[in-house]
Amino acid sequence: MKPIEEIMRMAPVIPVLVIDDVHQARPVAQALVDGGLRVLEVTLRTDCALEAIKRMQLVPGVVVGAGTVTNKDQLDACVAAGAEFIVSPGLTDPLGQAATRAGIPFLPGIANAGDLMRGLDLGLSHFKFFPAEANGGIPALKALTGPFGNVKFCPTGGIKQDTAPDWLALDQVLCVGGSWLVRSGESDADAIRERARTAAALAS
């Protein structure tokens, strides 16, 4: 498996996907990959999420992870479905330990210094700053990076195409999570592809 930092550096934006119709999973993934975004996060917010991960894996070049993972049982199910990385909204010792034992790239959510210290104690160094905008935005993350200079972040939550560059300008931000790439229930591959191209261009 690719290390989490390598995955985070593959594109400036990781689409955060809520798949309601499993039949749309592969076309959505194909449109995003065609647009230049190869790393996709499928959230466990729908009953078909695990099957969506499996179908997306059929797209050449894609790296599909599972998001909204909150416990060991979910983590195990995602690994069995072929998820290549795990994203959680927060961090608990049991989940962090389970991810470490599984050897899967893990991006846990953090919101404050205590969360970061817990993650560092678990041997982690890459985190999702979540919810990014509601949690104080860029000033809050800048304040955190002062005492924690060696960690890297993927801010997620409330970030848009027009605000993403400001986040990506921070030295310790490797990528951002974006839910704007695919709207709920959307099946317009051309529109998704075009948004992906615009987001992928943030790397240049």
Q: What is the DSSP string of 8-38?
A: HTT-SEEEEE--S-GGGHHHHHHHHHHTT--
**Angle value at C-alpha 46, between 8 and 186, nearest 5 degrees:** 75
User: Tokens 């998001």 map to which residue?
Assistant: 67
Residue type, 104: I
**DSSP-assigned beta bridge partners for residue 95:** none
Asked if the bond preceding 155 is cis, omega within 30° of 0, the reply is no
Whole-number Cα distances in Å, 189 to 31, 90, 186: 6, 32, 8
**Phi–psi pair at 156, nearest 5 degrees:** -145, 140
Residues 6+ apart with CB under 8 A from 137: none
Q: What order do you get walking across the sheet with 86-88 strand by strand? A: 152-153, 126-129, 106-110, 86-88, 63-67, 39-43, 13-17, 176-178
Which amino acids are annotated catalytic? Answer: 41, 128
